[in-house]
Amino acid sequence: MLKPYLSRHWQAKKHWQDWADLLLGLAVLASPWLLDFSASAAPTWNAVIVGSAVIVLSAVAIAHLEPWEEWLQIGLGLWLIVSSWMLDYGEAHKALACHVGLGLIITLLAASELWEESQGREAGQGGSQQELKLHEP
């Protein structure tokens, strides 16, 4: 009963960058406690909100690939970079370094995925993605 539904919906194309972004979102979310800056409110709340958003967008992209998801990831990555100064992290130097570095990586991964997609469309191949299909018994 579920097989026709699953086979129709799990033929989505997948990118390795989405899985990497999921792990990076977890790293952003956990960074206040891993790097011991949870006493600083601004970087902690920023990490929780942005990390959660990256995780949700990555999960959505893994389940159903759409270009807008990557554009939102780029926006989140850029926000993570500039927010370090806009929110005045002050003495939370570990937070600043972590958020700038992870924001840069998130931005570059999303941009690389958009680039792969555009190259695949130009070549008429649909990207360098792998199709996942459920096999019939």
In a domain, 91, yes or no: yes
Specify if 27 maps to a domain. yes
The pLDDT assigned to 125 comes to 52
Domain annotation covers residue 8: no
Give just the sign of the alpha carbon dihedral 22, 57, 118, 135.
Answer: positive
Residue pair 107/74 in contact (Cβ under 8 Å)? The answer is yes
Assign 13 a pLDDT band (cuts: 50, 70, 90). Answer: low
78-124 pLDDT, tens digit per residue, is 999 999 899 988 888 999 999 999 999 999 999 998 888 777 666 65
The average pLDDT across 32-46 equals 93
Domain-embedded: residue 129: no
Of all residues in the chain, what percent carry a pLDDT higher than 90?
50
In a domain, 67, yes or no: yes
Domain assignment of residue 137, yes or no? no
Where does the pLDDT of residue 132 fall: very low under 50, low under 70, confident under 90, or very high at 90 and above?
very low
- pLDDT category at 77 given cuts 50, 70, 90 is very high
**Domain ranges, residue 103:** 15-121
Distance CA 70, CA 51 (A): 15
Please state the domain count of the chain: 1
Location of structure tokens 């999960």 = 59
Q: What is the pLDDT of residue 12?
A: 44
